[in-house]
Chains A and B, each alone.
Chain A
């Protein structure tokens, strides 16, 4: 055994465990706003991810234990689950998770080898294939309570909806609504303010700050991503305030916060150099806004991240930092 002979106490498992912990405030807020249905979604995604991970490790001839205990599959599952509409049907959850783990992760070589963010691949596949199901959201309590029901679905009811919509059609319609962004797109955004999405965004932000405090994520990616969103949105709003939402609305959405701190910061598929991380974040933020504004899908985060993933080798290559004792300006080979 060659040097060094001592190690810091960090491990992949520890990093992934902290990511999961940092997601808890967001999950809590989610439950509070949308009811406990998300817990069913999370569980289903987790079980699917672990099963897929085990099967793929086995198929590829890897030992299951060290790789299963690294918790990375669960992180992918949770990120995907949190991106899906609440009360998404079971087959949607399973399909998305399978794509994320089997195709985006293992067919690219497993942990550390995937060039695309697995959760975002799962999401992208779903939204392209099942646009209708992917845009049905159960509204937050305040919205749904405008109708007669007034309360959340219980855990059992949520499970029933997810696994086959046993509820009468009318009830289901009452509790579902278009995604907040669709609402915005159709000009109904007055209705959407102050109904709780900010709380969810704030909870993700809180978890993200925890990760930053623990130095599990760097400041560059989240800050650059948020700046990318804010600058692009501000630019659009400046030219046509009537048509484009205020920058803060775009900034303070759950999907943006989740992406800024948990998705864009995925180390494996992101840029590695300090300047590269800034470029990656800015680019992802800009593309998110562009796709939101002119694209055919309700949210641009997934596609923005995937597009930036493609650019990572280039970004890294052109943003190599100066080394110790290196020339101030280094000519690129």
Chain B
């Protein structure tokens, strides 16, 4: 099978370190005493709790339901009792807590009744609804709700289906070992995807540094009754990114600001295909996943882990060592540092990478940009990272956006090659979150203004109505007409004034926040951006509050 491959622009070749963890067999992680299951593990709306504290739940029971079009359900990973529904630390870049359901496990691991789905006879819409209720989300790291992606929409079909076994991030091997050991199930999942999307061309892209996975997948593909091409693609980070995989295999680029389905291509990670097969053929919702635990541990390996298992348990299991200098969720290129090892494994947790100073030396001091454009040469989004950096640093977010800031996939290639060791991606994340914050600010202000205008209008109307009534009364009772209208007329303006002041104060606060943003851009040199992002998130939360404020006070009147 030889297929013409295409090369995407940019990319880097960091050393893989895959062999550290891909030779040991998959090991099931033991059942923890408590499971902390976040309600927001996917992109979109967080799931809505369906259980209450004290309730007994069974393994595989839906404990929170999908809410809205882009969402997916969350399930109990084992049987036990719900002990809390509250905010807990979660693996998120902001370091902020989020709503979680805590389950004290009873050790019985008792399943809820479940049965395979006869997907061939179900309507596509029904099947998708079931998949949504089984909590399926992309396991490659993006955790986009799978049911949404399995809907070809108005186009009716999606001609090309790509199963992504690229796994280009260094250190991570969960997809690699999954393909080696569960190739058949991955292809069963692929068949279901093909069924839902009506695809005619099925491509499986695997980086050529995984020969065993390639062999296993080819062997499994040969047994199928439909054609699947298993293709070895050159190893190059971020070749496993969906857009890059699409370009490598088809030569097509996803237009900026569009989805791959707009050009008739849908991409799923191999782990998602496997989870889909478990869901359909066994009726099992997404309650566990493979997690690579590697880096500075005694026995780097892959574990089958229940969602909600605390991370420190896995590190202990893999053999923790002296000299740990931090833990990442994900790989070294795009992973995020974990502030706390109590945080649970979630659907997005493909890897727990334990750092040490020997493996990951602290980054050297950043020098000024020398405009060498190595970053531009490495950028797979074909951006000009040095310009984005310049604008982001100067706080010129408008220009940054003009230079396609939002096409940046935060792959980190630019920072990786920068001879001045500038933490470029930080600046982009920072600029993006500032822009979002500004947009929210603006929305909040617009909302406040609209409400204010509406209230003025209503007050005017009420005043007019009152005046009319009074006039009528006055006409009826000509004798005593002076005192009352003046009094009631005076009451409304003062009330309105108070509200105006409230809104003005809200606006002033919003503006003060905007002003505050400017100096921050310049002193961003300290790479402690995580803290900053947390701050921004907090600020955003405040702004949201701000938007709600007038509403609440309005409701009271």
Identify the A interface with B (CB < 8 A): 1-8, 10-12, 14-15, 66-67, 70, 72, 110-113, 218, 267-268, 270, 272-273, 316, 320-327, 333
**A323 engages B404 (CB within 8 Å):** yes
Distance in Å: Cβ of B252 to nearest Cβ of chain A:
9
Verify if B14 is at the interface (C-beta below 8 Å from A).
yes
For B530, list chain A residues within 8 Å (CB). 1-2
Given contacts A10-B374, A324-B382, contact A2 B337 (CB under 8 A): yes
Shortest 4 CB-CB distances between A and B: which pairs? A4-B412, A112-B368, A325-B256, A5-B332
**A11 engages B421 (CB within 8 Å):** yes
Interface band, chain B: 35 or more
Verify if B370 is at the interface (C-beta below 8 Å from A).
yes
For A322, list chain B residues within 8 Å (CB). 382
**A272 engages B333 (CB within 8 Å):** no
**B332 engages A1 (CB within 8 Å):** no
For B286, list chain A residues within 8 Å (CB). none
How many angstroms between the C-alpha atoms of A14 and B370 in the bound complex? 13
Distance in Å: Cβ of B12 to nearest Cβ of chain A:
7
For B362, list chain A residues within 8 Å (CB). 1
For A14, list chain B residues within 8 Å (CB). 419
For B255, list chain A residues within 8 Å (CB). 325-327
Verify if B423 is at the interface (C-beta below 8 Å from A).
yes
Residue in B335, B355, B370 whose Cβ sees the most chain A Cβ within 10 Å:
B370
Verify if B365 is at the interface (C-beta below 8 Å from A).
yes
For B426, list chain A residues within 8 Å (CB). 2
**A2 engages B332 (CB within 8 Å):** no
**B370 engages A321 (CB within 8 Å):** no
Distance in Å: Cβ of A177 to nearest Cβ of chain B:
38
Q: Residue A10 contacts which of B170, B402, B419 (CB distance < 8 angstroms)?
A: B419
Bitwise, B408-448 to A at CB < 8 A (1) or not (0) is 00101001111111010110010000000000000000000
Verify if B529 is at the interface (C-beta below 8 Å from A).
yes
The A-B contact count (CB < 8 A) is: 143
For B326, list chain A residues within 8 Å (CB). 1
Q: Name the CB-closest residue of A to B533.
A: A2
How many angstroms between the C-alpha atoms of A1 and B355 in the bound complex? 12
How many angstroms between the C-alpha atoms of A141 and B8 in the bound complex? 53
Verify if B254 is at the interface (C-beta below 8 Å from A).
yes
Distance in Å: Cβ of B249 to nearest Cβ of chain A:
15
Can you pick out 7 interface pairs between chain A and chain B where the beta carbons lie within 8 Å of each other? A3-B412, A3-B415, A5-B360, A6-B416, A7-B418, A66-B365, A272-B384
For A268, list chain B residues within 8 Å (CB). 370-371
**B371 engages A272 (CB within 8 Å):** yes
How many angstroms between the C-alpha atoms of A300 and B44 in the bound complex? 61
For A273, list chain B residues within 8 Å (CB). 376, 384
Q: Residue B333 contacts which of A4, A110, A218 (CB distance < 8 angstroms)?
A: A4
New A-B contacts (8) at CB < 8 Å, excluding given A6-B416, A110-B368, A272-B371: A1-B362, A3-B410, A6-B14, A7-B415, A7-B418, A67-B367, A324-B407, A326-B255
**B333 engages A6 (CB within 8 Å):** yes
How many angstroms between the C-alpha atoms of A324 and B385 in the bound complex? 13
How many angstroms between the C-alpha atoms of A270 and B372 in the bound complex? 9
**A8 engages B336 (CB within 8 Å):** no
Q: Name the CB-closest residue of B to A8.
A: B417
Given contacts A10-B374, A66-B365, A325-B253, contact A3 B335 (CB under 8 A): yes
How many angstroms between the C-alpha atoms of A319 and B384 in the bound complex? 11
**B425 engages A3 (CB within 8 Å):** yes
**A324 engages B371 (CB within 8 Å):** no
Distance in Å: Cβ of A285 to nearest Cβ of chain B:
21
**A12 engages B370 (CB within 8 Å):** yes
Verify if B397 is at the interface (C-beta below 8 Å from A).
no
**B370 engages A267 (CB within 8 Å):** yes
Q: Residue B529 contacts which of A2, A8, A320, A321 (CB distance < 8 angstroms)?
A: A2
For B347, list chain A residues within 8 Å (CB). none
Verify if B380 is at the interface (C-beta below 8 Å from A).
yes
For A5, list chain B residues within 8 Å (CB). 328, 332-333, 335, 355, 360, 363
Verify if B106 is at the interface (C-beta below 8 Å from A).
no
**A324 engages B423 (CB within 8 Å):** no
**B367 engages A70 (CB within 8 Å):** yes
**A7 engages B363 (CB within 8 Å):** yes
For A270, list chain B residues within 8 Å (CB). 371
For A326, list chain B residues within 8 Å (CB). 255-256, 382, 404, 407
Verify if B386 is at the interface (C-beta below 8 Å from A).
yes
Given contacts A10-B374, A12-B370, A325-B253, contact A3 B402 (CB under 8 A): no
Q: Residue A324 contacts which of B256, B374, B386 (CB distance < 8 angstroms)?
A: B256
How many angstroms between the C-alpha atoms of A327 and B421 in the bound complex? 32
For A1, list chain B residues within 8 Å (CB). 326, 337, 362-363, 527, 530
How many angstroms between the C-alpha atoms of A51 and B373 in the bound complex? 29
Q: Name the CB-closest residue of B to A6.
A: B332
Given contacts A6-B333, A66-B367, A324-B256, contact A112 B420 (CB under 8 A): yes
For B330, list chain A residues within 8 Å (CB). 3
Q: Residue B243 contacts which of A6, A324, A333 (CB distance < 8 angstroms)?
A: A324
Distance in Å: Cβ of A269 to nearest Cβ of chain B:
8
How many angstroms between the C-alpha atoms of A5 and B363 in the bound complex? 7
Q: Residue B372 contacts which of A70, A267, A333 (CB distance < 8 angstroms)?
A: A267
**B402 engages A333 (CB within 8 Å):** yes
How many angstroms between the C-alpha atoms of A128 and B404 in the bound complex? 44
**B416 engages A7 (CB within 8 Å):** yes
For A113, list chain B residues within 8 Å (CB). 368
How many angstroms between the C-alpha atoms of A4 and B170 in the bound complex? 11
Given contacts A12-B367, A324-B380, A333-B402, contact A2 B328 (CB under 8 A): no
**B336 engages A111 (CB within 8 Å):** no
Q: Residue A320 contacts which of B336, B384, B415 (CB distance < 8 angstroms)?
A: B384
For A4, list chain B residues within 8 Å (CB). 332-334, 412, 415-416, 425
